[in-house]
Amino acid sequence: MRELVVLGTASQVPTRHRNHNGYLLRWDGEGILFDPGEGTQRQMLRAGVAASDITRICVTHFHGDHSLGLPGVIQRISLDRVPHPVTAHFPAGGAHFFARLRRATSFYDHADIREAPITADGPITTTDPNATTSPNATTGPNNTTSSNTTNSPNNTTSPNNTTSPNNTTSPNTTTGPNSPSTTKSPTSPTGPTIEARRLHHSVETYGYRLVEPDGRRMLADRLARHGIAGPRVGELIERGHLDVDGRRVRLDEVSAPRPGQKFAFIMDTGLCDNVFALAEGVDMLVIESTFLSEDAEMAALVGHLTAAQAARVASESRVRRLVLTHFSQRYDDPARFVAEAREHYDGDLVIAEDLMRVPVPPRRQIASEQWQSRSDPRPSGT
């Protein structure tokens, strides 16, 4: 299952209808909790999210609406004696805040929280359990060692967008290397690589991007045409080629590319290069839209985005599904965010609401006719 469970959608001030931030991304066997604000533990209960569902915590920055839920979440992980380690990523410059929140009160600490502060742009980890941690992730001193979709009435959908406005840059942002992706075998990729990039805000802030490596999809008709079945399919996948009746059959002759899925999470920031780098080509983008354009000057002053800016990012970056969230309490009509975003983006649009579940869009498919036109020599004798 790959879906986003929305726990909270407010910005600095929660409302009667919007809790502070909190988002759990279910990605196969992973449960990545982003920016647990105040009240996250209770929202998890309401949304049917168990503490044991969390395998990783990603904090963008240490403002209260993005981190005050950490004490309750961590203490619940401890209380429930979650058996697996939970890795915590956060800006290294805020490590002292994490330490305070990690042990905000006295409790029986059974949680295996593995701190991995972010020190620079670039890949921070892969979710492949057999992989090693990226050099950009360091270990904190407090570590221990041990080994359904619902739709909102405000949501709208439409075909993918094709417009591409100009990029906007900020001199205060650095750009890191491209996220690498590796595979165990041509058809069985590892878990996604997680990349962090510095954003433009009043405190050290990072956005996150998940990239699943591309794989391959076996084509049953072509396998049958070459007489390849059973264990020999596995041998072909492992070796990349197979000798059949005196002829070498390559993997790419009997399979098609299977594009990996991508996800990005961007909270408090002004427009900058790294916003676009994180969003580029993702299947789903969760992005703050604190303000409407009528308050654009204030948004720029405090390092936030308007709904129009977030929509332009999605449009230029070829985002398939755009999830707007982190709304200022000054606005009480979600339809205004829809209207403003629609002026710039005509892809799938979601105006996030508390306790909503948003699926990651189905995997992109390569049209079969693109592969039928490729050279596909028949086995000799046919």
**Does 65 qualify as catalytic in the annotation?**
yes
Q: Is 80 flagged in the annotation as binding?
A: no
Q: Is 344 flagged in the annotation as binding?
A: no
Residue pointed to by tokens 């993918």: 160
* Catalytic, out of 28, 35, 53, 65: 65
126's tokens: 């892969």
d(C-alpha 196, C-alpha 317), whole Å:
17
Other beta carbons within 10 Å of 177: 11
d(C-alpha 72, C-alpha 38), whole Å:
9
Q: Comparing C-alpha atoms, which of 43, 36, 129 is closest to residue 74?
A: 36
166 contacts 21 by C-beta, under 8 angstroms: no
d(C-alpha 46, C-alpha 338), whole Å:
26
Four-CA torsion 29, 30, 31, 32, nearest 10 degrees = -170
Q: Is 28 flagged in the annotation as binding?
A: no
d(C-alpha 337, C-alpha 306), whole Å:
9
Q: Is 66 flagged in the annotation as binding?
A: yes
Q: Is 65 flagged in the annotation as binding?
A: yes
* Residues with Cβ within 8 Å of residue 356, at least 6 apart in sequence: 5, 6, 150, 152, 350
Beta strands (DSSP E) in the chain are 2-8, 22-27, 30-34, 56-58, 86-91, 113-118, 122-126, 183-185, 188-189, 193-198, 206-211, 215-218, 241-244, 247-250, 255-258, 262-266, 284-288, 321-325, 348-351, 357-359
Q: Is 226 flagged in the annotation as binding?
A: no
Q: Is 84 flagged in the annotation as binding?
A: no
DSSP state at residue 119: -
Q: Comparing C-alpha atoms, which of 76, 126, 85, 127 is closest to residue 105?
A: 76
d(C-alpha 201, C-alpha 270), whole Å:
6
Half-sphere exposure of 337 (CA within 13 A, CB side): 30
Q: What are phi and psi of 81, to 5 degrees?
A: 50, 55
> What residue numbers does the annotated binding site for Zn(2+) cover?
61, 63, 65-66, 201, 268, 326
Catalytic residue positions, numbered: 65
